[in-house]
Each structure stands twice: as C-alpha cells, then as structure tokens.
C-alpha cells in the first residue's frame, strides 16, 4: 500500500474494509469484485452469465460505488457491458428493488451482486426499465431470448 | 472530508434529476445520445428571463462532459444565436475566461447550476438590453 492508499484506508469505515476483505478472500461463484486503487469505495465487478440463461457464456462488467452514507444508503451499481434485458437500460442502469426502496443496511455488496446475478436468470418484463425490450419479451419471449443470446455473443466476451 | 462521487454515478444522478425535472422549468437538460455509456454529450434549454430582451426566447445549448468531468469544467456552446458578453460570436462557445463559474470551476457545481447561472447572466446590466439576432436563428 502506498501512503495515499493507507490514508484512504484509514478513513474507510470498518464495515467496508471487512466486506472488501471477504469479497476478495471468499468470492461468490461467478462473481468478482475488486476495489480500484485510487478509490477504495469504487469496485470493478464482473458477473458471469448464469447457466441456462440467455447470458450464459458472457462476462459482464459492472461498476459499483459505495456512497458516503453507505450502508444507510444502497450501493450504486450499473452495467458497463451492453446487455439485452428488460430490467437493464442502455446506460446499464438496473431496476432492482433492493437498490432503491427495499434497501436495508443488513444487505451487503455480496447480496447485491448475487441479486443482480439472479436477475439475469429471471428477467421481469412486468417491472421494466427498458420498455421496448420488455415489450419484446412479453410479445415474443422466444425471439427476445434469442436477441439476448446474440447480444451476449456480440458484446459480453470479456 | 466528503466522499467524491465518481464521474459515471455523478452524471447518472444529474441525468436522473434532469429526467424528473426541477425548479420552474426555465432551465432543463438531457442526454443528446442516449446510447453513449460515457454520457458525454448533453443538450440544455434556457427560457429567457422576463424584463430582458431575452424574455420568452427559447435557447438551445450543447454541453460536452469529457472524461475528466466533474474534475474539469464541461464545455458549453449556444446552438441558438445569442448576443451575450461571454458567448463567442463565431461558434457560440461560452468563453470560460468570461464566465467565472466555468473559469473557476469546482467539482461540486452541476449542469443545473451552470444553466441557471447562464440564465441569470442574461439579466445582467451588460446583457439584458443587448441587441439580439432574430429569434430562432442558429450558430
């Protein structure tokens, strides 16, 4: 650790340090999250597309930031890899209740990332963020899933 | 020391605010290219303040937030023609040396505050009575 990072770490709440250590030492299957060197509240995240989902075989990059009032406020997360999913928009914003009103300080970075991984396995077109994707999903699920597969092959190859 | 929000989440917050709308609607902004994951190009709108030559005029602006935003100030251009002290009459660019909020940029400043300040500047003694090009003409 250089002096800058040491100073940063000294200011970091104990809870964040513990969560970070656990994420690095015991990563959840198919998920990796590591803090950036310049900002220990900013994480580079990778989630592997779950098996049996149209995202299988894809490597999805995300960014995650712990705001000043974390864990009283939820982490901020978005996809950096393009993805065809009814609950994720063009800018990578994610529609997930625990990132908004259902957040609780009992949740952690790990639970958030597991929920996002689960969202890839279970798209919910009834609570859409990407309207036209959700419409596609409802009108022709088979075709929408095929498009999601194509996007995975095109954009999510790591 | 407060925790600085990284560029992308800062711009997402600003986008969110822009999408919901704020204030009395006399300034507004949104993304120009909704597919750009880096959120670089934005458009702004200012409705000219009452009791000035700008009254009720609708001005469009182009805003560029490069990858150094918000550490560095964004770049702004008027797309609608306007005669103001801080606006370069060749291309509509707002000259940071003539507009203190850009010249002395601070990371805490937002696009909303910038547009509001530009609108306020339209009411300054220098600008409120300055002769204006015909309404609706563009740079």
Structural domain boundaries of chain A? 3-156
Indicate the pLDDT class of residue B1, thresholds 50, 70 and 90: low
pTM of the model: 0.91
Region for A115 from its dihedrals, namely left if φ exceeds 0, alpha if ψ lies in -120 to 50, beta otherwise: alpha
In a 13 Å sphere around the CA of A78, the CA atoms on its Cβ side amount to 18
Q: What is the mean pLDDT of residues B4-25?
A: 94
User: What is A3-156's CATH topology?
Assistant: Ubiquitin Conjugating Enzyme (3.10.110)
Query: Tens digits of per-residue pLDDT, B91-103?
Result: 999 999 999 999 9
**Which chain B residues touch A41 with a CB distance below 8 Å?**
3
Which H or E run includes A135? helix A131-139
pLDDT of residue A1: 61
The b-or-e profile of B8-34 (16+ CB within 10 A means b, else e) is bbbbbebbeebeeeeeeeebbbebeee
Task: Using alpha carbons, select from A58, A59, A55 the residue that is nearest to residue A44.
Answer: A59
pLDDT of residue A10: 75
Q: What is the mean pLDDT of residues B36-61?
A: 97
Q: pLDDT averaged over chain B? A: 96
Across the interface, do B35 and A80 touch by the CB < 8 Å criterion?
A: no
Q: Which of A69-73, B21-25, B44-48 has the lowest mean pLDDT?
A: B21-25
**Which chain B residues touch A76 with a CB distance below 8 Å?**
9, 12
User: Yes or no: is domain B7-123 CATH 3.10.110.10?
Assistant: yes
Across the interface, do A63 and B5 touch by the CB < 8 Å criterion?
A: no
Q: What is the mean pLDDT of residues B37-50?
A: 97
**Which chain B residues touch A82 with a CB distance below 8 Å?**
37
Q: What is the mean pLDDT of residues B10-14?
A: 97
Residue B42 to residues A5, A119, B72, B112, Cα–Cα distance (Å): 34, 31, 16, 12
Structural domain boundaries of chain B? 7-123
| Token output for B13 | 């917050």
Of B1, B9, B34, the CB nearest to A90: B34
What is this model's ipTM? 0.89
pLDDT of residue B53: 97
Query: Which of A67, A91, A94 to mutate against chain B (most B CBs within 10 Å)?
Result: A91
Across the interface, do B12 and A68 touch by the CB < 8 Å criterion?
A: no
pLDDT of residue B2: 75
Closest chain B C-alpha to A69 CA, distance in angstroms? 9
| Token output for A140 | 């022709």
Of A41, A63, A67, the CB nearest to B8: A63
**Which chain B residues touch A68 with a CB distance below 8 Å?**
2-3
Q: What is the mean pLDDT of residues B108-112?
A: 97
φ and ψ at B17, to 5 degrees?
-65, -40
Query: Which of B1, B8, B33, B108 to mutate against chain A (most A CBs within 10 Å)?
Result: B8
Low-confidence ranges of chain A (pLDDT < 70): 1-5
pLDDT of residue A72: 97
């Amino acid at each position: 650790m250089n002096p800058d990072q040491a100073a940063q770490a000294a200011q970091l709440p104990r809870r964040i340090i513990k969560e970070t250590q656990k994420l690095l030492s015991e990563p959840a299957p198919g998920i990796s999250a590591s803090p950036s060197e310049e900002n220990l509240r900013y994480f580079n995240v990778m989630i592997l597309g779950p098996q049996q989902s149209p995202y299988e075989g894809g490597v999805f990059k995300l960014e995650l930031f712990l705001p000043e009032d974390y864990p009283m406020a939820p982490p901020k997360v978005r996809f950096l890899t393009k993805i065809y999913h009814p609950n994720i928009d063009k800018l990578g914003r994610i529609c997930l209740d625990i990132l908004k009103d259902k957040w609780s300080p009992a949740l952690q970075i790990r639970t958030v990332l597991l929920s996002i991984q689960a969202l890839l396995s279970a798209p919910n077109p009834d609570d859409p963020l990407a309207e036209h994707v959700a419409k596609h999903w409802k009108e022709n699920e088979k075709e929408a899933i095929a498009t999601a597969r194509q996007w995975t092959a095109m954009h999510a190859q790591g | 020391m407060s925790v600085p929000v990284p560029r992308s989440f800062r711009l997402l917050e600003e986008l969110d605010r822009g999408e919901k709308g704020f204030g009395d609607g006399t300034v507004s902004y949104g993304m120009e290219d909704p597919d750009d994951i880096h959120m670089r190009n934005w458009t702004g709108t200012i409705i000219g303040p009452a009791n000035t030559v700008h009254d009720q005029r609708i001005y469009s602006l182009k805003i560029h937030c490069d990858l150094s935003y918000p550490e560095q100030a964004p770049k702004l251009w008027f797309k609608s023609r306007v005669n103001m002290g801080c606006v370069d009459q060749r291309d509509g660019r707002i000259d940071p040396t003539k507009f203190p909020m850009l010249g002395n940029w601070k990371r805490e400043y937002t696009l909303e505050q910038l547009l509001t300040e530009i609108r306020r500047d339209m009411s300054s003694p220098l600008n409120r009575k300055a002769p204006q090009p015909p309404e609706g003409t563009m740079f």
